[in-house]
Structure 1
Amino acid sequence: MNARKLAFEVLRRVEEGGAYASRALDAALSSAGARDPREAGLATELVYGTLRRALALDAALAPHSKRPIAELDAPARIALRLGAFQLLVLGTPAHAAVGETVALAKAVDHGRAAGYVNAVLRALARAPRFPDPPPLATDPAGHVAAAEALPRWIAEEWVAWLGPDEALALARAMNGPAPLCLRAVERDALVDRLRAAGIAAAPAARAPGGVSVTGASVAEIARAAGGLAFQVQDEAAQLVTLLAAGELRGKKARVLDACAAPGGKAFHLAELLAPGSEVVAVELHPRKADALAREAGRRGLPAVRVICADAAKAIPGLEPGSFDAVLVDAPCAGLGTLRRHPELKLRRAPEDLPRMAVLQREIAASVARYARAGAPVTYSVCSLSRAEGPEIVRGLISDGWRRAAPPGGFPADVLTADGDLLTLPSRHGADGFFAARLVR
């Protein structure tokens, strides 16, 4: 299976099967076995590039297609986008981009759509260009959406919240690759070992346990680490944990982590606290809860206790007012992670935001009861919308909560004027997170 065929199959799993691109691609590369790294790199670029630019590719294809691209059968639509990406972004010669893409379509439907794909791509090859976006000054949301292949409703939200220039920079950053960041208790020792193995590694800019790595796979890092423990975790996620409980570092404490799977923040909390502490990790889904408990055991973190329960309701066995800190890492639309999950641009809809906000408010209000008097409750989402961020906090404040100061030494450049955490790939190089630290 060559890179184009592998990418085509992965894109079909994403669109037709609802898979996450990262997992589908990893599985496909693993099952394909040993291959030329250039082929694996091309497959990765084709998958992520096609997803990131899907809406712009559709706009470029539209003048040459008698039917709207969105109304075509999935294999034909995926083939057209894949071919258009090669023509418009990679600069692949037309004979290769068109010929191999048509062959992919023909193999799927025995030629029914192959002729159509061939005609549309050949027409595009004669005039290979994206449509010009409207001017930023007169139609900022339209410009951001068209220039960076973003759904208009997301562009409108970011322009209204952040302003046209920041929205454009953010959308552009979301179309780039996400950096690889690790978290390690023995951060400096890990950096030294990685550098000794020829891996470009450096301490992260803000998180004290963070390590930024360039040009190496996780498998290569694991070999170079030589047994030193580490976890792959974006720096923004590490900062959320530090905002929630940074002042408890080295102290014996009880911390509640709601909606805890896959466990990165719960494990980070356990590493921060003194022996004898407890981190109660609550997860709704039984399979995820089981996996979290197994991973905590594998990592040697006895402080982590997993409870399978609905955090929007009373949690069995927990006493209200018994925790020194509470972290609500709520389910969200994930708009801060589009670099890693570009398929979310194609799956999310405007109505998702108010629907998610209802659940987020329910969970935050429910788990807040478990914080002792004066203990912080930190609300966090890996999404970038006012409905899931500032408006949730505004509602909690109207219910009697107030903002609490961040732990001492917390980096000021990721805090808003209100004192909330807001990380943007365009500013900080990290995933997009919003978090607020509250106290009653």
Structure 2
Amino acid sequence: MQNFLVRETIVDLLLRIEQDSGFSHLLIDHEIKSRNIPPKDEALMTEIVYGTIQRKLTVDYYLKPFIHSAKKLQQWVRMLLRMSVYQMKFLDKVPDHAIIHEAVEIAKHRGHKGIASFVNGVLRSMQRRGVPDTAEIEDEAERLAIETSHPQWLVKRWIDMYGYEMTRDMCHANLERKPASIRIQPLKITRETAMDELQELGFELRKSHFSNQGILIDQGNILRTRLFEQGYVTIQDQSSMLVTEMLNAKPGMTVLDACSAPGGKVTHTAEKMQNEGLIAAYDLHAKKAKQIRKKAAELDLTIIDAKPGDARKLQEQHEKESFDRILVDAPCTGFGVIRGKPDIKYHKEKEDIDRLARIQLDILEHVAPLLKKDGRLIYSTCTVDRAENNEVAENFLARNPDFHVDPDFFEQLPAMIQDSPGCSEIGLQLFPQTFSTDGFFLTRIKRV
């Protein structure tokens, strides 16, 4: 019975994510807690939801020959078919006959005998005849889009920017899992001590080369450990850690984090400052500013002053040339974090890129006067689109001659990154396939 309820929950989740453009990771977490999903079912439920979303366009391509009146298909039936096909074609944990049986039972429970018969017919026909071969798609961009379940407009855009091979590798990387990544709180524990404790619990670990606080987890659930519960470690991707490392904030400095939520970089910055100095942290929403304060408290960090505030109006809050360091981790399309938030790739359009690029440039223009002479500003995003990254930085520098890219930035990057394909004269573009991190852009700008 529990198995049936879990799969009913998966249908509900897929519906909400599809219809309400809800963020999958937040909805999954909410459902696990509110429905008291047992730990043994958590992993499978998460895998089916994420996997079905991640492979949505591929699954729809497989389903197309077997559904003759797709427009009339109720949304919940479509979600039920998608999750069933995903399991049949991409998972080995449950045999096909069991997947089909459970799908039919859900169809009976939510609909009627006719819908159950339809679901049974579609899935058994696919099982018998097999799925269409993507190799038959002649256009290479369309074929790559279907095979890796990325919108075709986005694949074509990336091909224009980076070429077919780079785009192919990026699309395939977006379907893979990356290792979990955590950061120690160095004022409470050393990396070696944390790794020793986790290895004793059976964790498989590696040191990160991006930050001397970073640890990669190949095996083990950090959420159920003393270290996480007591604020000795926090979850953060390596690329995000690199942003703070390159900000190079020192104890006693005054720092501005203009777009601070959810708080990973600002708490890392406070740790780098040894909890000495002041960090003014802002987010547009009061709820998110509260989230930053909560995260800082969990890590026993006291120098962060987190408030709600629009990054484009911070000159009303602070005098010009007030800060030694400024971090602008700008709002963006998020195309660099598709692996962890697969719904992003279906909910963005070309117009979103253009709109966000204007906002990003506007934020830079408004916060730059707050930087002291000889100060440093990091501009970063978690996307891979040049219009939001290189072009925004180039436009800002062209309009502000007393700012330029800090030449020391490239020399201070970790050695393994310095010759990576994403390095340019304007900054660093990390691709998800290069170091198995999130896709991220960052550059460091100096005021002269």
* TM-score of the pair, normalised by structure 1: 0.91
Deviation at 1:224, TM superposition (A): 5.7
Distance 1:275 1:431, change over 3 A: closer
Distance 1:285 1:275, change over 3 A: closer
Q: Which residue of 2 aligns with 1:216?
A: 220
Q: Distance in 2 between matches of 1:205 and 1:399?
A: 35
Q: Percent identity?
A: 29
Does 2:428 correspond to 1:421?
yes
Deviation at 1:310, TM superposition (A): 0.7
Q: Distance in 2 between matches of 1:113 and 1:386?
A: 46
State the number of aligned residues.
432
Letter in 2 for 1:290: K
Q: Is the 8 A contact 1:190 1:228 kept in 2?
A: no
1:193-220 Cα deviation digits (max 9, x unpaired): 1112221122113211101112211233
Q: Distance in 1 between matches of 2:104 and 2:278?
A: 57
Does 2:190 correspond to 1:183?
no
Q: Is the 8 A contact 2:259 2:311 kept in 1?
A: yes
Deviation at 1:369, TM superposition (A): 1.5
Deviation at 1:337, TM superposition (A): 0.6
Structure 1 segment 23-34 matched on structure 2, within 5 A:
23-33=26-36
Pick from 38, 49, 52 the counterpart of residue 51 of structure 2: 49
Q: Distance in 1 between matches of 2:217 and 2:96?
A: 36
Distance 1:289 1:315, change over 3 A: farther
The range that moved more, 223-232 or 266-275, is: 223-232
Q: Is the 8 A contact 1:87 1:128 kept in 2?
A: no
Q: Which residue of 1 aligns with 2:200?
A: 196
Q: Which residue of 2 aligns with 1:298?
A: 298
Secondary structure of the equivalent of 1:418? coil
Secondary structure of the equivalent of 2:357? helix
Does 2:89 correspond to 1:88?
yes
Structure 1 segment 226-305 matched on structure 2, within 5 A:
227=230, 229-243=232-246, 245-246=247-248, 248-249=249-250, 251-305=251-305
Secondary structure of the equivalent of 2:384? coil
1:133-181 Cα deviation digits (max 9, x unpaired): 467xx84422321221111112112222222112111111111123210
Does 2:11 correspond to 1:8?
yes
Secondary structure of the equivalent of 2:9? helix
Distance 1:299 1:370, change over 3 A: same
Q: Which residue of 2 aligns with 1:127?
A: 129
Secondary structure of the equivalent of 2:375? coil
Secondary structure of the equivalent of 1:314? helix
Deviation at 1:113, TM superposition (A): 4.0
Letter in 1 for 2:59: L
* TM-score of the pair, normalised by structure 2: 0.89
Structure 1 segment 50-129 matched on structure 2, within 5 A:
50-68=52-70, 72-90=73-91, 92-110=94-112, 113-129=115-131
Deviation at 1:439, TM superposition (A): 2.4
Q: Is the 8 A contact 1:188 1:203 kept in 2?
A: no
Q: Is the 8 A contact 2:320 2:370 kept in 1?
A: yes
Distance 1:178 1:72, change over 3 A: farther
Q: Distance in 1 between matches of 2:412 and 2:340?
A: 29
Distance 1:423 1:88, change over 3 A: same
Q: Which residue of 2 aligns with 1:18?
A: 21
Structure 2: which 5+ runs fail to align? Answer: none
Letter in 1 for 2:204: A
Does 2:440 correspond to 1:433?
yes
Distance 1:414 1:408, change over 3 A: closer
Deviation at 1:259, TM superposition (A): 1.1
Q: Is the 8 A contact 1:57 1:84 kept in 2?
A: yes
Q: Is the 8 A contact 2:376 2:444 kept in 1?
A: yes
Secondary structure of the equivalent of 2:182? strand
Q: Is the 8 A contact 2:275 2:302 kept in 1?
A: no
Distance 1:428 1:23, change over 3 A: same
Secondary structure of the equivalent of 2:314? coil
Distance 1:379 1:190, change over 3 A: same
Secondary structure of the equivalent of 1:129? coil
Deviation at 1:34, TM superposition (A): 6.4
Q: Distance in 2 between matches of 1:226 and 1:62?
A: 47
Q: Is the 8 A contact 2:384 2:439 kept in 1?
A: yes
The range that moved more, 49-58 or 186-195, is: 186-195
Letter in 2 for 1:390: N
Letter in 2 for 1:24: L
Q: Is the 8 A contact 1:378 1:436 kept in 2?
A: yes
Task: Say what the alpha-carbon RMSD is for the aligned residues.
Answer: 2.3
Q: Distance in 2 between matches of 1:72 and 1:283?
A: 42
Q: Distance in 2 between matches of 1:380 and 1:327?
A: 8
Q: Which residue of 2 aligns with 1:340?
A: 340
Q: Distance in 2 between matches of 1:217 and 1:8?
A: 26
Deviation at 1:280, TM superposition (A): 0.8
Distance 1:17 1:106, change over 3 A: farther
